[in-house]
A and B are shown apart, each in its own frame.
Chain A
Amino acid sequence: MSRIEGRLSELRNAGRKALVTFITAGDPNVDASVPALHALVRGGADILELGMPFSDPEAEGPSIQRSSERALAGGITLRRMFDMVAAFRTEDAATPVVLMGYLNALERTGYPEFVEQAHGAGVDGLIIVNLPPEEAQPLKQLTDRCDMNLIFMVAPTTTEERMQLIVEQAGGFVYYVSLKGVTGANHLRPDSIPDQVAALRRHTNHPIMIGFGIKDAAAARSVSRYGDGVVVGSVLVDTMADLADDPTAIPVALQNQIAEFRAALDSD
């Protein structure tokens, strides 16, 4: 059982919703990320997504686009990102870490080399936004071999036929994209979610995490009822952007912010 599967099964047994957080590696600078990850855990995050900055993040809204630009300007590299995860792991062996980004980093590094370095650093899963299941077999064979989860997304436009195709490949959890749009969009309509997630439930026993456009604790609470947990990203990235000139204040701010989400999820 992977660290992700273990964590999600503990939560399910305890009747709790999972809180998944996203920040971008190296944003606003290379030194900020490891303290930020620990702060998120202290605030109540169950799974940590770490964004791999890419020059052309075509599925991201302005918040995460700019976080990528800041991180790249600040000198983030794949090597430094793996080092961050390894550094985080020296103090936290329990919290799952998922890398999220775009395929070209893996194309350039080589799939076997990338998976080996990620696994060696203590990464538990990968979400590759522009890698649909039809193209994913070569990578999945490698992640399967080291008990790393390749996590796929289901969107509001996904047909039931595609849901089946996706869940057959899915590892760890299924990421339900809660709106048609980019990350951080402003048009989340929670009432459109239940039908699609119910359809997805008919195809899989995997936990379902719901993300995109979840701006505050109240939205997280209402959306979480339909799935097994929520993903919160752009609002955390915005907090870090606001404190880019005062990075020592970032950990406390993130911890307090995510604690509100935690309290809302636990209040049901």
Chain B
Amino acid sequence: MSNESPEQGSNAGYAVPDETGHFGRYGGRFVAETLMHALDELDDLYRELKDDPAFRDELADDLRRYVGRPTPLYFAERFTEAVGGPRIYLKREDLNHTGAHKVNNTVGQALLAKRMGKPRLIAETGAGQHGVATATVAARLGLKCDVYMGSEDIKRQSLNVYRMKLLGARVIPVTSGSRTLKDAMNEAMRDWVTNVDDTHYIIGTVAGPHPYPMMVRDFQSIIGTETRAQCLQDLGRLPDVLVACVGGGSNAIGLFYPFIADQQVRLVGVEAGGLGIETGRHAAPLAAGVPGVLHGNRTYLMEDDDGQIIETHSISAGLDYPGVGPEHSYLKDIGRAEYASVTDDEALNAFRQLTRIEGIMPALESSHALAWVQREGPAMDRDICLVINLSGRGDKDILTVAELDGIEL
């Protein structure tokens, strides 16, 4: 591991967000007045603790002994041969405790909740990975935990729902709107407004009002910090291309952030193209959205001519969100990162191929990043080193895949 703290990348010259949480025109803090003071308090505490050696040691220790970090950087030899292009490495976030990168953030925010003395955690979840990661840290610290989840997502992620219940959390079905991740986030905000005195809201991605996009990025940047050190050690140089799926965008920003100042490293975020961008049935606001304000920040959104948020579609519940973290909007506009999309079918093919030839079953979310490499990799030079963030494991998705295969389990 490098000497840098997990929270900080190596980013001289890249200084967003500003004091008020703005990434250029994006980000900020657009919430009801009732929450403003709680956000101020959270911001103050986080700024104080992020550079506090005792806090950093405690976090690093939790990440090592409880989460199982560092995660390996794995050379996927047979996947590399199958793609027939760059040398492909997988950053194995699927090997984290609870099976995805989400726990990097919940461990950090749980420490904040403990310092604030708040006995109750709430979270929103789509695929259930963030809900499981929140329920996990709540169980460990003896905190009460309520997880909001769209009733549609509860259907397609029943395994994770049961995991959360086993961990002692209450899973509250959300039946408003499209009954998916965005509606779960609305309901979590309503809960927080009502219970702000004794409750900490652990937002699971790099969205929401300031300081969440910054704070979640910092906690997730352990992914890129480790990747950087591992590349320097294993390859003797930095990678050429980084690829990650983007829903809210926390695993992508976690990988990208420590490389942003390394202009030679190409950063590729892959959105959920659903049934195809041209059909309108997708979850790719960076590809087909416009800037607007939702869930506390300004960012690219999928909406109609009146600014009503429109329903999204993705085979992957974790990517099924009409917005995206504001820092991705900023990175898109300044041209530092590029954003592409792959369809449900392409992601499924990648899921099957990686499972069969590497013995690694990826989450459907992460399969979007793999699918982009399958599609674009053959045109790349063979001496290119490419890292894919394998952000989660696919066990939670087997019911979805089995159903598509016509198999009832």
List A residues at the B interface (Cβ < 8 Å).
Answer: 54-61, 65, 69, 72, 77-78, 102-109, 129-132, 134-135, 152-159, 162, 166, 177, 180-182, 185
B293 touches A132 (CB 8 A): no
Q: Give the residue of A135, A155, A180, A185 whose beta carbon is less than 8 angstroms from that of B30.
A: A135
- Complex partner residue of B290 from A61, A77, A108, CB under 8 angstroms: A108
Distance to closest chain B CB from A38 (angstroms): 25
Bound-state CA distance A156–B33 (Å) is 9
A157-B196 contact given A104-B301, A132-B36, A152-B33, CB 8 Å threshold: yes
Q: Show the binding face of B for A, using Cβ within 8 Å.
A: 20, 28-38, 176-177, 182-183, 185-186, 189-190, 193-197, 290-296, 298, 301, 303, 305-310
Q: How far is the CA of A78 from the CA of B307 in the complex (A)?
A: 9
Determine whether the beta carbon of A55 is less than 8 Å from that of B295.
no
Please state if A56 and B182 are interface contacts (CB–CB under 8 Å).
yes
Number of contacts between A and B (CB, 8 Å)? 117
A108 and B309: CB pair below 8 A? no
Q: Helix, strand, loop or mixed for chain B's interface?
A: mixed
Q: In chain B, what residue has the closest Cβ to A154?
A: B33
Q: When the two chains form their complex, are residues B295 and A156 in contact, meaning their CB atoms are under 8 A apart?
A: no
Whole-angstrom distance from the CB of B236 to the nearest CB of chain A? 47
A105 to chain B: closest residue by CB = B307
User: Given A58-B186, A58-B189, A72-B308, A104 and B303 touching (CB < 8 A)?
Assistant: yes
Q: Which residue of B lies closest to A108 (CB)?
A: B307
Cα separation A247 to B293 with both chains bound (whole Å)? 34
The answer to whether B301 touches A132 (Cβ under 8 A) is no
Shortest beta-carbon contacts, A-B, top 5? A108-B307, A155-B34, A181-B194, A104-B307, A55-B308
Do the beta carbons of B36 and A158 come within 8 Å of each other?
Answer: yes
Does A155 contact B32, Cβ atoms closer than 8 Å? yes
CB distance A58 to B33 under 8 Å?
Answer: no
B121 to chain A, nearest CB (A): 18
Q: Do A59 and B190 contact each other (CB < 8 Å), given the known contacts A135-B28, A157-B38? A: yes
Bound together, the chains give a CA A102 to CA B295 distance in angstroms of: 11
Given contacts A180-B197, A181-B194, A182-B194, contact A103 B34 (CB under 8 A): no
Chain B residues near A78: list those with CB within 8 A: 306
The answer on a CB contact under 8 Å between B193 and A182 is yes
Residues of A within 8 A of B20 (CB): 134
Known: A58-B189, A134-B29. 4 other contacts (CB 8 A): A58-B185, A72-B308, A102-B293, A132-B36
Q: Are A56 and B186 in contact (CB under 8 A)?
A: yes
Of the candidates B38, B190, B195, B294, the one whose C-beta lies within 8 Å of that of A104 is B294
Query: Are B36 and A56 in contact (CB-based, < 8 A)?
Result: no
B32–A130 touching, CB < 8 Å: yes
Contacts of B28 in A (CB 8 A): 135
Q: Give complex CA distance A105, B304 in Å.
A: 10
- CB pair B34 A177 closer than 8 Å: yes
Cross-chain pairs A/B with CB under 8 angstroms, 19 sampled: A56-B183, A59-B189, A59-B190, A69-B176, A77-B306, A78-B306, A103-B30, A106-B307, A130-B31, A130-B32, A132-B31, A134-B20, A157-B37, A157-B38, A158-B33, A158-B36, A180-B193, A181-B34, A182-B194
